[in-house]
Amino acid sequence: MSESTIVDKSTAGRDARQYHIGIAPGEVGTVALMPGDPFRVPFVAEFLTEVREVAHNREHRTMTGMYKGRLITATSTGMGCPSTAIAVEELARVGVTSFIRVGSSAGLQPGVAPGDLLVSEGSLRNDGTTAAYVHPGYPAVPDLAITSELERVARELSEVTGRSVHAGLSASDDAFYAEGPEWISQLSEMGILNVEMEASAMYVVARLRGLRAGMICACSSNLVAGESLYDEGNARLKDGWMASIEVALDAAVNLEL
């Protein structure tokens, strides 16, 4: 085996239909909203016109449509950092330059209620995927302009809806059911606002590839207060998802992403 025969994944598949997300160059816009669940991609589409389903392969479902004169892409990441990193890498290869995660996240501070909006200012990298990309001390931080605009639009919307908005550091974990009381307490004591499973990979990959990323989520539960809206049928949680999507869409238009 010679070094020249080893596949270089950094160049393999460029300018072609992508293996995991099933999208080819020219089929999407420059900004993508990224829920985790493929069945929440149609929630984004509810705000769009000229909607088209582009692909649905594995956990990655993609739809496009127009919002206030801009082409918007929505692609699901699936659960966790590995599939999120794949989605960001492959979307970047087909023309996406900005990513906004929308979805659910658990609150870790008193006063954060299910249904509230959470804007991430950076993520604690408690995942294995980003460790394969960068030094342990490399920060997982979103794009400043996107983050600021997400918070501004969210607070503007909250004046109408009364929905609370919180901004702060988040954490990205790999193991949902390994988040025991001791770990939750540690995160809360460190001042971490919320915990989810995807943002750190999105931030790190975007930074390494010269791209932009941000996150706004709806609070699904408060892990230090014992409050939860995990029931998919709960109207308040869906309202939170829809609010996060609306904020992300307006931020994308305002920034001309």
pTM, 2 dp? 0.95
pLDDT digits (tens, 9 = 90+) for 171-208: 999 999 999 999 999 999 999 999 999 999 999 999 99
**Using the 8-state DSSP alphabet, how is residue 214 labeled?**
E
**C-alpha span between 80 and 195 (Å, rounded):** 12
* Tokens, residue 205: 């990959």
60 pLDDT exceeds 80?
yes
Total number of residues shown for the chain: 257
pLDDT digits (tens, 9 = 90+) for 123-154: 999 999 999 999 999 999 999 999 999 999 99
Q: Domain boundaries in the chain?
A: 18-254
Q: Is 212 exposed, middle or buried (0-12, 13-18, 19+ CB in 10 A)?
A: buried
Q: Render 85-150 in DSSP notation, one character per residue.
A: HHHHHHHHHTT--EEEEEEEEEE-STT--TT-EEEEEEEEEESSHHHHHS-TT--B---HHHHHHH
CATH of the domain spanning 18-254: 3.40.50.1580
